[in-house]
């Protein structure tokens, strides 16, 4: 048996632990493993196909990033191809990819990625390719799995930032607005915000009113708490308004959202008279060593993906449904994006402990 692994979309701490576990698990069965580099580009002749051996995966389990490299601009079904006049044409290169995989003797592919990569995996399955998915996202926005690796590390990184901002905010009687990742979902903001005792948490699932945010800050001030911490997801937006768009996207890339913390900090300063600062945590949340929780989950996912290949679970992805790792149809996971339920106990507890969601 010869299988291949690929990592697609934005990276997440734990990808290397998945690769390591899958490679060792496959070798344990006597299989041969190839690595497709840079998303699917290796199967389109644009990047390399590399052998993955015990030696290649030695000592990588604790490292962030992905040894296979990745991209969020390589969808083979709508691939941006540079034209002679400098423009880009979107081309379907999926047949080419499938032909190349079969030339290389690849009998199954383990595709590790977020909703974008999983939807590509589903489309390849529909065309007859034998694919098993491993969900990956720091945003925790894939349905069907309680969580994915990378999320816990991102929350930990955001939490450290909140703790550090707290002491300087309190020393200076300032308001700090911290922007964390989460283009459509507020899990990072909610979990890090609540764990870090933020005063205001703003998430895309609960549109906010800046007046309510200012009221909370002023009421704290009147109560003798002269500083405030606002944690907002990059995709948080006011009621009736779209999320902030950040700069231009490259061909084949999703719209970049964010830039909202700076705007809100300015508005808070204007309306409350309190000195306000903003900070964008950005890609720090995607980097660094995975936490123990993420390393373990990623390793379990890698091992389970190999078992799913052995069981011919084509078009399925591994998922955490505690305490077990199960497999579910990718189609099922893609039906709806996982978002924060405004009635979830985490939100209710946050409200009960005095957190404002700006609504």
Enumerate the active-site residues.
Answer: 139
**Residue 115 vs 199, nearer CB to ligand F6P:** 115
Please pick, from the candidates 183, 226, 271, 307, the single residue that binds ligand F6P as defined by CB under 6 A.
183
Positions of E strands within the chain = 2-7, 32-36, 49-51, 79-82, 88-91, 108-113, 131-135, 175-180, 200-202, 228-233, 276-280, 316-321, 324-329
**Residue 139 vs 294, nearer CB to ligand F6P:** 139
The contact pattern for ligand F6P, residues 224-263, with x = CB under 6 A and - = no contact, is: ----------x---------------------xx------
**Residue 226 vs 256, nearer CB to ligand F6P:** 256
**Residue 27 vs 262, nearer CB to ligand F6P:** 262
Chain centroid, CA 99 distance in Å: 30
- Around Cβ 111, how many Cβ atoms within 10 Å? 28
Q: Contact between 139 and ligand F6P (CB under 6 A)?
A: yes
Residues 65-94 contacting ligand F6P, CB under 6 A: 72
Please pick, from the candidates 138, 142, 333, 350, the single residue that binds ligand F6P as defined by CB under 6 A.
138
Binding segment (CB under 6 A) for ligand F6P, from list 168-176, 181-189, 219-227, 272-280 = 181-189
Strand partners, 112: 7, 134
> Does residue 141 sit in helix, strand or coil?
coil
Chain centroid, CA 292 distance in Å: 18
Least gap, CB of 137 to ligand F6P (angstroms): 6
Please pick, from the candidates 137, 147, 272, 299, the single residue that binds ligand F6P as defined by CB under 6 A.
137
Burial 250-272 (b: 16+ CB within 10 A, else e): eebeeeebbbbbbebbebbeebb
Residues 9-48 contacting ligand F6P, CB under 6 A: 10
Q: Please give the C-alpha separations between residue 69 and each of 5, 42, 84, 243, in angstroms, as whole numbers.
A: 11, 10, 28, 29
Residues with Cβ < 8 Å from 183, sequence gap 6 or more? 139, 204, 233, 234, 235, 243, 254, 257
**Residue 137 vs 272, nearer CB to ligand F6P:** 137
Residue whose beta carbon is closest to ligand F6P:
181
Please pick, from the candidates 182, 196, 302, 315, the single residue that binds ligand F6P as defined by CB under 6 A.
182
**Residue 158 vs 265, nearer CB to ligand F6P:** 158
Tokens of 134: 């491993």
Crossing angle between the packed helical segments 210-222 and 260-272, to the nearest 10 degrees = 50
Least gap, CB of 216 to ligand F6P (angstroms): 25
Least gap, CB of 188 to ligand F6P (angstroms): 8
Residues found near ligand F6P in the complex (CB under 6 A): 10, 72, 114, 137-139, 181-183, 234, 256-257, 286
């Amino acid at each position: 048996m010869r299988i291949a692994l690929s990592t697609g979309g934005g990276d997440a701490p734990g990808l290397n632990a998945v690769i390591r576990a899958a490679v060792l698990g496959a070798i344990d069965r006597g299989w041969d493993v190839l690595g497709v580099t840079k998303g699917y580009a290796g199967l389109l002749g644009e990047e390399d196909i590399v052998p993955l051996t015990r030696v290649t995966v030695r000592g990588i389990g604790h490292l962030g990033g992905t040894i296979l490299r990745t991209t969020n601009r390589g969808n083979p079904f709508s691939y941006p191809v540079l034209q002679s006049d400098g423009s880009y044409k979107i081309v379907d290169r999926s047949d080419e990819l499938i032909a190349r995989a079969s030339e290389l003797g690849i009998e199954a592919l383990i595709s590790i990625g977020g909703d974008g990569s999983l939807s590509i995996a589903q489309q390849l399955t529909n065309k007859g390719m034998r694919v098993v998915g491993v969900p990956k996202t720091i945003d925790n926005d894939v349905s069907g799995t309680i969580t994915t690796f990378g999320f816990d590390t991102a929350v930990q990184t955001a939490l450290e930032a909140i703790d550090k901002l707290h002491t300087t905010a309190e020393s200076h009687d300032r308001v700090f607005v911290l922007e964390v990742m989460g283009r459509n979902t507020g899990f990072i903001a909610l979990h890090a915000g609540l764990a870090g005792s933020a005063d205001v948490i703003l998430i895309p699932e609960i549109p906010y009113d800046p007046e309510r945010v200012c009221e909370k800050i002023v009421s704290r001030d009147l109560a003798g708490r002269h500083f405030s911490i606002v944690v907002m997801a990059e995709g948080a937006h006011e009621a009736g308004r779209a999320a902030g768009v950040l700069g231009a996207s490259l061909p084949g890339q999703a719209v970049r959202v964010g830039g909202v913390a700076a705007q809100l900090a300015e508005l808070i300063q204007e309306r409350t008279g309190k000195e306000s600062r903003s900070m964008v945590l950005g890609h720090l949340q995607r980097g660094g060593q995975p936490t123990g929780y993420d390393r373990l989950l990623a390793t379990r996912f890698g091992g389970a993906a190999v078992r799913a290949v052995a069981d011919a679970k084509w078009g399925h992805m591994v998922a955490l449904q505690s305490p077990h790792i199960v497999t579910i149809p990718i189609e099922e996971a893609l039906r709806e994006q996982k978002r924060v339920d405004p009635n979830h106990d985490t939100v209710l507890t946050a409200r009960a402990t005095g957190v404002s969601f700006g609504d």
